[in-house]
Amino acid sequence: MTGGQIAGLIAAIALLILVLFIGMFLVKLNKTLGELNRSMKTMTSDVDTLSHQTENIMANANELLADVNQKVAKIDPVFQAAADLGESVSDLNTATRKLTDRVGETAKKSATSSLAARVGKTAFDLYRNRSRKNKADD
C-alpha cells in the first residue's frame, strides 16, 4: 500500500466515524424532539384545561358579584334609614341641650329674683316692725 492509499483509508475511516457520531446525534435529537413534542401536546392540553377552569371560575365570580350587588341594593335603604335616624337623634340631642340650657338660665334668674324678693320682704318686715315700734313708743 502506498502513502496515498493509507491516507485515503484513514480519511474513509475518519469519515465513517464522523457519520456514526452524526447518526447517533441525530437519533438522540430525534428522541429529544419526540419527547418535546409529547410534552408540548401535554402542555397544550393542560393549558386548555386550565383555560376552561379559569372561564368557569370567572363565570362563577361574575354570578357571585351580581348576587352581592343585588343584596347590597336591597339593604342600602336600611343603612340610609339608620343614617337618617342617627341625624334625627343628633338633632334631638342638640335641641335637648338648648332647652336644658334655657331652663337652667331661667332657674338662675328665678333664683336671683327669689333671693331679691326674700331680701326685699325681710327689709320691708324690718321697716314695718320699726315703724310699729316707733308708733308704740310715741
pLDDT-derived band of residue 36, with 50, 70 and 90 as boundaries?
confident
Q: Cell 474513509 identifies what position?
A: 12
Q: What total number of domains does the chain contain?
A: 1
Is the residue at 127 inside a domain? no
Q: Cell 371560575 identifies what position?
A: 57
Q: Model's pTM, two decimal places?
A: 0.39
| C-alpha grid cell, residue 38 | 409529547
Is the residue at 35 inside a domain? yes
| C-alpha grid cell, residue 58 | 370567572
Q: What is the mean pLDDT of residues 22-44?
A: 89
Range of the domain at 39: 1-113
Angle, alpha carbons 95-98-100 (nearest 5°): 110
Cα Rg, the chain, nearest whole Å: 56
